[in-house]
Chains A and B, each alone.
Chain A
């Protein structure tokens, strides 16, 4: 896992795509987020930041999912220059 300045999901600007590196949650929450598509290796893009707030909508594994900023902050992304995961075709 590249630990050099790995960015987190909450800092992803709308319209930008990146690849998920790791999820920093306790096991139950981690599994739940993975089941909803936030899987290490999946490509994810931020679609929009929701009015007034701390919610953002992401496109991941073909579905749209809304996350709170604090949740997104605990999902780290692969450094963009580290090359895309070959499996992450993103559709």
Chain B
């Protein structure tokens, strides 16, 4: 089906896709993701990391007539003068200059109706790109609740494009958006727009359009001022910041444990069923120990990872994250980075890959490089399973500060701090030696405080679960199966060999001299190799090697580790995982973002040296 043709558009790329493609663009913090979620529901995906230029969200909307519209959610832009990579990609897609995507058939410009005078400034630039464009004034519910109003017909007449007042939260106005997506929307008459690239002129124009559209700005929200008074208080602000961080870590352990127990027993019970169904054979071993045990040992960490992402989502959606960045700016500056580096670094607590990509928003290229080089040092969620296993096995739980902080959470917090300080120290080294640069002006927009919606939090968690399970189903599955084979050959008298005599065992013994100085044996050495694919793989690996149920909560695996590792060795292993670049996906994304192998190679070597030397020191001190 050809894309619908609107009058008044001169240039149009023939789209190779059958579906009509519509791009959603607009400034940050106008509710773009909830708008996108409202339209696409669960029919969306975050495009795979390797091989694409930007984290773009793609989704689709099925129409009543059976047709389908594909939607692209573009990163937020404040203007068409692309300064950062992110904005460049967005503008390229809208202009049809992107290599990876066809030019969209139409665009939706999403603006915040509660701040219309300022946001209308975006209109001439976007309409000037020549795509049929619908201007959506979002957050209609907030505008109304705070006593504001606007005449959309008057706006439409002045800008020469259809205008809809909508709310992605309540769903108001969304039918009209769908009507536009279908391609059946009467275009408004052509209007002379101010020359773009002159911001003061655009601003004057925007203010006068708002004034002539009987725009009444809503009352300022008093809540925002009050909350800022608390969160940015000279003493209270940093204390709240600290309390929030501690609460997140404590709940990763306390809240997640009952859920993880349930997942674990479900895996155990289902393994029993499968075992009963299958005849004894090599295949049964592969399925039960290799696939079920290996993948299951990783899936059991899903609750902890979801809790971490739930908190990050709450902080981000509520608007607190930007305040936290303000509080953190001083420390970021001490290591020579700009405050904006804080956001990618914070997301690297979830995963280094989106963090490396989030660094695109940093305009100064040297700051950007420094940020993406240090991002993998912060504690990503893949380290969590490893930390959880070792902490549970080697650190006895005792209360430290009443019921609020126990020894285990404190050790975990310490590991996070170790990663954080390593990242800061590295940044300081880089910025004072290799990547010196003039400081760029630090500018950070603070979004309005908003209640996080259950809807948007759910979408985040579903998204993360999908990514995590996809990893468990691919990289981790393959590594587990390969390892299982290596541990099962050569067969002796029709039986799998003892692990020490298997192929995996001989590989392990070959590298043992390398890991011995850290107090580790050849079995852990095998884990260090397999976990290059993904850090959490080591849990499944140890499970396979020790030939037992491999869950972090499994007492058997914990006991086996206690018998094999000294306390110093365990601390050395924790240090190794804190600092080593045990993640091939991150290496790949850094290569892509820096355009060559030089930086990822330096990064890998640097992190390996750091990991090995701190591990060695830890074993000497605690061993």
Contacts and interface: CB of A to CB of B under 8 A. Distances in A.
B443 A67 contact: yes
B326 A50 contact: yes
B203 A36 contact: no
A66 B443 contact: yes
Interface string A51-86: 111110100011111111011001000000000000
Contact of A50 (B199, B232, B235): B232
Interface string A21-51: 0000100110111111101111000011011
Give the bracket for the number of chain B residues in contact with chain A: 35 or more
A87 interface: yes
A64 B114 CA distance: 13
B118 A63 contact: yes
Given A32-B443, A35-B78, A62-B118, A87 B326 contact: no
B228 interface: yes
A60 to B, nearest CB: 9
Contacts of A2: none
A62 B119 CA distance: 9
A89 interface: yes
Contacts of A36: 78, 443, 445
Nearest to A40: B200
A51 B232 contact: yes
A71 B234 contact: no
Interface string A3-35: 000000000000000000000010011011111
A67 B338 CA distance: 11
Nearest to B446: A64
Given A34-B199, A55-B326, A71-B442, A61 B237 contact: no
Given A41-B204, A62-B115, A33 B330 contact: no
B199 A35 contact: yes
Contacts of B78: 35-36
Contacts, number: 114
Nearest to A57: B446
A31 B448 CA distance: 23
Nearest to B229: A48
B446 A65 contact: yes
B464 interface: no
Interface centre among B200, B339, B363 (most CB of A within 10 A): B200
Interface in B229-276: 229, 232-235, 237-238
Contact of A31 (B115, B199, B207): B199
A33 B441 contact: yes
Contact of B326 (A66, A70, A71): A66
Contacts of B443: 32-33, 36, 65-67, 71
Contact of A37 (B118, B233, B234, B326): B118
A91 B228 CA distance: 20
Given A32-B83, A63-B445, A41 B115 contact: no
B444 interface: yes
A37 B83 CA distance: 16
Interface string B538-554: 00000000000000000
A41 B207 CA distance: 11
Nearest to A64: B446
Interface in B445-459: 445-446, 448
B366 to A, nearest CB: 15
Contacts of B232: 48, 50-51, 57
B329 interface: yes
Interface in B486-530: none
A68 B330 CA distance: 10
A32 B87 CA distance: 12
A45 B118 CA distance: 15
Contacts of B114: 62
B204 A65 contact: no
Given A32-B83, A41-B200, A91-B217, A63 B115 contact: yes
B595 interface: no
Contacts of B327: 50-51
B440 interface: yes
A50 B329 CA distance: 10
Contacts of B187: none
B436 interface: no
Nearest to A28: B83
Contact of A52 (B117, B203, B228, B234): B234
Contacts of A28: 83, 363
Contacts of A52: 234, 330
Given A28-B83, A29-B441, A91-B220, A51 B237 contact: yes
Interface of B: 78-79, 81, 83, 114-115, 117-119, 199-200, 203-204, 207, 211, 217, 220, 224-225, 228-229, 232-235, 237-238, 326-327, 329-330, 339, 363, 440-446, 448
Closest 8 CB pairs of A and B: A62-B115, A51-B234, A61-B118, A35-B79, A71-B441, A64-B446, A35-B78, A34-B199
Given A41-B204, A50-B232, A64-B224, 20 more contacts: A28-B83, A29-B441, A31-B81, A31-B199, A34-B199, A36-B445, A39-B203, A41-B200, A48-B228, A51-B233, A51-B238, A55-B442, A65-B444, A66-B442, A68-B441, A71-B441, A71-B443, A74-B441, A87-B203, A91-B117
Interface of A: 25, 28-29, 31-37, 39-42, 47-48, 50-55, 57, 61-68, 70-71, 74, 87, 89, 91
28 contacts: A29-B440, A31-B81, A31-B83, A32-B441, A35-B199, A36-B445, A39-B200, A41-B203, A42-B203, A48-B229, A50-B327, A50-B329, A51-B327, A55-B326, A57-B228, A57-B232, A57-B446, A61-B115, A61-B117, A61-B203, A64-B448, A66-B443, A67-B442, A67-B443, A68-B441, A70-B441, A71-B442, A87-B203
